[in-house]
Chain A
């Protein structure tokens, strides 16, 4: 293995070419991953800014910071930006793009130019979204419920709808590229049961992207057409049915939750074995649970509609199926826990995020059981209970996984180490800030505070103040990594090829990897998570 000094000098994907053109026209999956990283970080801060304004408005019961219409636009665009422009592309388009070819021993994704096209589609969608925000915004909520969106809202619904439509195609193309790459580009010896579970998670995610996204795309097209041409497909005054919209919308948007959470589960499944120096417990069950989440995830959409006016029997079926999809999630949590048994555990930043993920995902998942229980859902749906629940899954889960993954693979991506003690501090701040922000919202929800309220009865204030306080802590926790990641790119310690002593092909090439990933095409003749044969990294590093 090369020494650190030589590694720093050798040619890699970052220093092979310079200049703006070498980035904007690149077909290298690693460079495209970095393009995505920059773009989604931009949107994360826009969405985060909206969130902060929302929390500030809710500091007092009266609507005093912003106007009602402004508030409605804030939560609508917070949702749309965070879901369609941050969470859905986050892990797949950044870490997935970077790692899928590396992990399976390929030189690139199967269709590098389509990969670049997907980033450009994302940028076009993003520009449209930003333009929409700057010229008035949209106030339909991220859900675009009809007939409000088609006939009553007087904001820029068409523009926002088209932006999300286009970003959907970016997502489809990423998923398509992953599935083909995983099927056709694996290195010799990299059989399906030797694949890292990160790959399995991305495979499952891609299937959802491929089969779910087109449905929301066509639904948004119909909304846009109906709004522009007064068609009447979702408009009850013209014979249409607003519930049809909800069915079509949630057919994608429920599985979309799994687009956000499955990749995070994949990340955590890489981190935990590495810092336990141990094989993952129950490889096959973890892999299969990803696939079954993807499959069952398509069969539960109407659990968003238990009070919407669907029939009793439809509600029964969708409630039962929702419990079915909870089983594979539970399996994962148990397997992660079991992996720690008789391990040799260290507590670096990625592992702290993984702990945070398991904890928050467990709580998010358990509160999902409340919402799937029909009689109880009637009371808590459309309240802050739901808001808290999905933030536990999508921020507590997906975002913790994303940050954990960024820390884990940052040495590979940048060739530098981030400052370990700051990393641990940030992980702790994020965890505490998150719980302070969102736990009070469970109580608020059970007390009956409806979501999307600009002003609220005064008895809800104490809990709202706690939540806002938590949000400021959380904001610090998110800013910190951005600062030290940037700092480390220049001043960080030069990273060795395999700083964590991790398994996986991505650690067998240099940090950062060369343009075509491997100097020699790898041949795999070992099992996944073969930690018995990989030496642990030196003790000295763990001091940070």
Chain B
């Protein structure tokens, strides 16, 4: 019966448990508060219903009471706020070393690509017990990546990256919804997330017809577009050296310091004039409209792979071996 009429969503990620805990706390609290208020109303309604010869007693009010029922709720609210904020911080901070999936949303479909190179449409295969970071962008309007079983949701915006992450805790197939209204087939923009046991995942991964990792694809594009003529690893290049750039602070020509995250790399490819690195001339051509979202993702993945990686999980070494083996999933 519960398959056709569930009353509680499946709990299939590490976040789901903490969100449910807060939810249960709030349901209990609300039930208690409603119970108190509704009981008082009922009791007063019966006890003080109009009776002959009994007049109402005029009461002005009571400052002490008012303060009490302002301060106590406020105190409870602070507890809820802190609890909610702690969960939110965890939801919004992808752990280091998460495997990365690039998501491009468009009306009305999800296009996903694993950093190992596999592409999927409206379907996402992930290994059990491994942190997965989604890097999302949209080709047209705003969408929202929503997996109820993981209790995660993140709007997907055109023209920039947003991120989300999860760690599946239960194998199975779960709904993937678009949760931000996006036009005619909004309700058709659905898919599924398949959580596989690590061994099965390995099988799935090797079965797909991936042509090289995203980073190696990105490297090819990097060569084809001629980026490598200026962005060289020696100091002779007319553009900044990209090795070890990702995640580091960058000193800009106008004095600002920004962190080289995905959005910075994206912007620097599309509109290079926006944030010029200190000591360099704004001579790089604009690539807005010249590269597709998928190519852009590959370029970003390539630039990220140029980092000598500390954990060995996010991307390979400086020189990307083509057709790199998928990394071993971490121990659960």
Interface residues of A (CB under 8 A from B): 63, 68-69, 72, 139, 141, 143, 145, 147-148, 151-153, 236-237, 239, 242-243, 276-279, 281-285, 306-309, 312, 315-316, 319-320, 323-324, 326-327, 330-331, 333-335, 337-338, 340-347, 355, 358-359, 362-363, 366-367, 369-370, 372-379, 381-383, 443, 446-448, 450-459, 461-463, 531-532, 536
Contacts and interface: CB of A to CB of B under 8 A. Distances in A.
B181 A375 contact: no
A93 B162 CA distance: 43
Contacts of A309: 154-155, 157, 160, 162
B50 A383 contact: no
A366 B66 CA distance: 19
B219 to A, nearest CB: 27
A60 to B, nearest CB: 13
B86 A366 contact: no
A452 B85 CA distance: 28
B280 interface: no
Interface stretch (B34-42, B221-229, B313-321): B34-42
Interface string B8-39: 11000001001100110010011001100110
Interface in B125-155: 140-142, 144, 146, 148-149, 151-155
A279 B58 contact: yes
Contact of B48 (A63, A68, A343): A343
Nearest to A143: B181
Interface in B65-108: 65-66, 69-70, 73-74, 77-78, 80-81, 83-92, 107
B61 A330 contact: no
B23 A446 contact: yes
Given A330-B69, A346-B49, A379-B148, A446 B84 contact: no
Contact of B5 (A153, A383, A459): A459
B142 A374 contact: no
Contact of A373 (B26, B141, B180): B26
A298 B185 CA distance: 34
19 contacts: A145-B141, A242-B157, A281-B62, A282-B66, A315-B88, A319-B88, A327-B74, A331-B70, A337-B40, A342-B56, A344-B49, A363-B34, A366-B29, A375-B88, A378-B19, A378-B153, A378-B154, A379-B153, A455-B187
Nearest to A245: B142
Given A68-B184, A375-B86, 16 more contacts: A147-B141, A147-B142, A151-B141, A279-B60, A282-B65, A323-B80, A327-B70, A335-B61, A342-B48, A345-B50, A369-B77, A376-B19, A378-B88, A379-B19, A447-B6, A455-B187
A326 B77 contact: yes
Contact of A323 (B22, B41, B81, B88): B81
Contact of B153 (A145, A369, A381): A381
Contact of A148 (B61, B144, B183): B183
Contact of B91 (A378, A457, A536): A378
A531 B87 contact: no
B155 A308 contact: yes
**Most chain A beta-carbon neighbours within 10 Å: one of B9, B29, B37:** B37
B69 A334 contact: yes
A145 B181 CA distance: 9
B57 interface: yes
B203 interface: no
B84 A376 contact: yes
Interface of B: 3-9, 15, 18-19, 22-23, 26, 29-30, 33-34, 37-38, 40-41, 44-45, 48-51, 54-62, 65-66, 69-70, 73-74, 77-78, 80-81, 83-92, 107, 140-142, 144, 146, 148-149, 151-155, 157-160, 162, 175, 177-188, 190, 271
B153 A374 contact: no
Contacts of A462: 4-5
A184 to B, nearest CB: 29
Contacts of B154: 307, 309, 378
A276 B19 contact: no
Contacts of A363: 30, 34
A432 to B, nearest CB: 15
B40 A373 contact: no
Given A242-B157, A369-B77, A373-B26, A277 B56 contact: yes
Interface centre among B51, B60, B77 (most CB of A within 10 A): B77
A113 to B, nearest CB: 41
A207 to B, nearest CB: 22
B187 A377 contact: no
Contacts of B182: 148
A532 B57 CA distance: 8
Contacts of B65: 282, 334, 338
- From A242, A463, A536, residue with most partner B Cβ within 10 Å: A242
A362 B18 contact: no
A343 B40 CA distance: 13
